[in-house]
Amino acid sequence: MLLIKGGTVVTSERSFSADILCTTDGKIAAVRKDIEPPIGSEIVDAHGLLVMPGGIDPHTHMEMPFMGTTSSDDFYTGTAAGLAGGTTSIIDFVIPEVGQSLFGAWREWRRKAEKSATDYGFHVAVTHWDEKVSQDMGTLVRECGVNSFKHFMAYKNALMVNDEIFLKSLHRASDLGAVCTVHAENGDVISFLQQSLLERGSTGPEAHPLSRPDTIEGEAAQRAIALAAISHTPLYIVHVSTRQAALAIAEARLRGQPVYGEVLPQHLIFDESVYQSPDWLSAARYVMSPPFRDQSHQEALWGGLSSGQLQTTATDHCCFCAKQKEVGLNDFTKIPNGVPGIEDRMSILWHYGVNQKKITQEQFVALTSTNTARIFNLHTRKGIIGEGADADLVLWDPASTRTISAKTHHQNVDYNIYEGITVTGVAKKTISRGKIVWDDGVLRAERGAGQYIERASFKA
């Protein structure tokens, strides 16, 4: 048994002094003051530390085949890096290949994820439509613990679905009691703009944001919300990066529609100037979609997070090393889209959010863990500190600092977008189902220790 003594427990609702007793099978057995240590228990001194639910990252892409290559962090290295930053669960994306069934792809992702060091679940992408897709959605929800499906309104001729397919999937998800998630950017417009930029000789990373203007994220978000309303399906919009999309979500919520928005820390702190670096690789490393925008959008994202109109933070962790990015040396549309971040999400949000008084420590817990657990029906086990919940915890030192660097990070990628930033607010210890797996700089992640998390349908 593990007894965490003397810390301040922080939940999404309140902060209070209490000890936490964890069982050997990884559950929380008690949360109260002055727990007597059971014989043989290991005691962790948490004086001066905040004890919070472990982070849940609902948007990662471990070892994902994408744009002709495969993201460099696998389920072990990526989740181990997450533990070093206080993240104890992920929800990754199953992306069926052309001709592959949803169920076949889910089985393949289950196999790939067996090496995971944290618990994990999956959203499954719907990238085409036929009767088998509809059947597989049923099987996945009823028998496989999947309650969310993903749709790409961008990446034309690859992952993108048109409105008809999206609407069919929304209807089917509604019948099954599942949530639909969406990458909201207008893929037809992007494709047109990419071609025009290339024809005019704009081939470098500076063209990337020009091909994906803020307005077409706003338009796609509006369209996704309209389609979800027609089918009465809860909608979760991933990586919201614009004021327009944030406003569309807030307006839908005011109408009573269940729409949720996810924010990535990188969109909160970087702007489009990252694409102007004279060094090609430095700029290419920031190529992700949606791109970094002008600073006025950051204000809207912070406002959305602090007001509760945007509910979660994720990373969209999708790593590509220099050699992989260099495939797009002469054509920015070929630069694999994606950036790393799972290890730094919590520190970045704490440093720029809590320390700058944009959000409270309780909101931090909601935004990094509890809200995700609620939206994706994990909240009886994850995102909470209470008897019977999984003992996934982070012991947070709000006063400690660290300087982020690729030289010291645990992510399997040769750069860090936050290189050189010194953050105040650090995961001192991370506990995954009752075991200390990150201990003040020592990573004790265990390959394969993570378990698949079944998430029940909202109709179950």
Ligand X SMILES: NC(=O)NCCC(=O)O
Report the interface residues with ligand X, using CB under 6 A. Answer: 61, 183, 288-289, 316, 318, 337-338
Cβ atoms within 10 A of the Cβ of 333, count?
18
Nearer to Zn ion, 136 or 316 (CB): 316
Q: Is 92 in the site for Zn ion (CB under 5 A)?
A: no
Where do we find the tokens 């809860």?
A: 234
Q: How far is the CB of 374 from ligand X (least distance, A)?
A: 22
Min CB(318)–ligand X separation in Å: 4
- 233 phi/psi in degrees, rounded to 5: -115, 135
Position closest to Zn ion via CB:
183
User: Interface residues for Zn ion in 167-186 (CB under 5 A)?
Assistant: 183
Q: Which two tokens stand for residue 67?
A: 């744009």
Considering the complex, what minimum distance in angstroms separates the CB of residue 61 from ligand X? 5
List the single partner that 214 binds among Zn ion, ligand X, none, CB under 5 to 8 Å by kind. none
CB of 173 to ligand X, least distance (A): 19
Across the beta sheet with 235-237, the strand order is 55-60, 87-94, 119-125, 148-152, 179-183, 235-237, 259-263, 312-313
- Pull the structure tokens for residue 200: 């005019």
- Give the angle 395-396-398 at the CA atoms, nearest 5°: 155
Q: Which is nearer to Zn ion, 7 or 82 (CB)?
A: 82
The strand pairing partners of 19, in sequence order, are: 32
Given Zn ion, ligand X, none, residue 338, with its beta carbon under 5 to 8 Å by kind, binds: ligand X
Give whichever of 11 and 337 is closer to ligand X, judged by the CB atom: 337
Measured CA to CA, the distance from residue 436 to residue 391 in angstroms comes to 10
Secondary structure letter of residue 369 according to DSSP: I
The yes or no reply on residue 316 touching Zn ion (CB under 5 A) is: yes
Q: Which does 409 bind (CB under 5 to 8 A by kind): ligand X, Zn ion, none?
A: none
The entry of Zn ion, ligand X, none that residue 288 binds, CB within 5 to 8 Å by partner kind: ligand X
Beta strands in 215-370 (DSSP E): 235-237, 259-263, 312-313
- Calculate the CA 309 to chain-centre distance: 17
Q: Which is nearer to Zn ion, 183 or 402 (CB)?
A: 183
Considering beta carbons, is residue 225 or 391 the nearer one to Zn ion? 225
Q: Which among Zn ion, ligand X, none contacts residue 252 (Cβ within 5 to 8 A by kind)?
A: none
Out of ligand X, Zn ion, none, which partner does residue 368 contact, by CB within 5 to 8 A per kind?
Answer: none
Q: Which is nearer to Zn ion, 332 or 438 (CB)?
A: 332
Closest separation in Å from C-beta 239 to Zn ion: 6
Neighbour tally for 220: CB within 10 Å: 25
Nearer to ligand X, 212 or 402 (CB): 212
Q: Of these partners, Zn ion, ligand X, none, which one is at the site of residue 74 (CB under 5 to 8 Å by kind)?
A: none
Tokens of 413: 């990628």
- Give the nearest distance from C-beta 386 to ligand X in angstroms: 33
How far lies 154's CA from each of 151, 269, 287, 406, 429, in Å? 9, 24, 15, 30, 39
Q: Which is nearer to Zn ion, 183 or 381 (CB)?
A: 183
The Cα 374–Cα 351 span in angstroms is 25
**Rounded (5°) CA angle 168-169-173:** 120
* Nearest residue to 54 via CA among 306, 373, 311: 373
**Closest separation in Å from C-beta 275 to Zn ion:** 18
Task: Beginning with the edge strand found earlier in the chain, give each strand of the sheet holding 19-22 in spatial order.
Answer: 28-32, 19-22, 2-5, 42-45
Burial of 68 from C-beta contacts in 10 A (0-12 / 13-18 / 19+): exposed
Minimum distance, C-beta of residue 240 to Zn ion, in the bound complex (Å): 11
Residue 55 φ then ψ, to 5°: -70, 150
Q: Which is nearer to ligand X, 183 or 285 (CB)?
A: 183
User: Is residue 262 at the binding interface for Zn ion, with CB under 5 A as the rule?
Assistant: no
173 binds, among ligand X, Zn ion, none (CB under 5 to 8 A by kind): none
As measured in angstroms, the least distance from the Cβ of 205 to ligand X is 13
Report the partner that residue 249 touches, choosing among ligand X, Zn ion, none (CB closer than 5 to 8 A by kind): none
Question: Angle of helix 187-199 relative to helix 214-231, nearest 10 degrees?
Answer: 160
Binding site for Zn ion (CB under 5 A): 183, 316
